[in-house]
Amino acid sequence: MNEYLSMLYLWLKSAHLIFVIFWMAGLFMMPRFFVYHQESAVGSEEDGKWIEREGKLRKIILNPAMIIVWVLGLFLAYDIGAFSQGWFHAKLLAVLLLSGYHGWMMGYVKKLARGERTMTDKKLRLVNEVPGIAAAIIVILVIVKPF
């Protein structure tokens, strides 16, 4: 039975990492979509296509991946007793902040769909760095466990 649980743990850990990759890919793609979307005229055919693309990315990849990452991640953390470890607290904070960034992007998707362009292309390119920085911090925390 113990061997079965060990195998199940590895499958769940693998699924967690796969959905982290999906989520991160979407987090990298969406701000690029925003840059290109903002170049289109409000109400144009191209604007409509960007609204559709952003909606698909949000509904098919980003939101489901984030939910699965959270569910599997919390299960795995509970299973290994990570809630009492300092590195995990820092990782949890980083993932919470990344989830907040995700939420901000979902709000900006809706603004663009309404024709509001409140950010410059330069700022959007800068916020595109957030997931990369978060990923680096999270990977170091999980692998190195510095505290």
**Binding annotation for heme:** 16, 91
Using CB atoms within 10 A of its CB, is residue 102 exposed (0-12), middle (13-18) or buried (19+)?
Answer: buried
130-144 vs 2-38: helix axis angle to the nearest 10?
A: 160
Binding residues: 16, 91
What is the per-residue burial (b if ≥16 Cβ within 10 Å, else e) of 9-46? Answer: eeebbeebeebbebbbebbebbbebbbebbebeeeeee
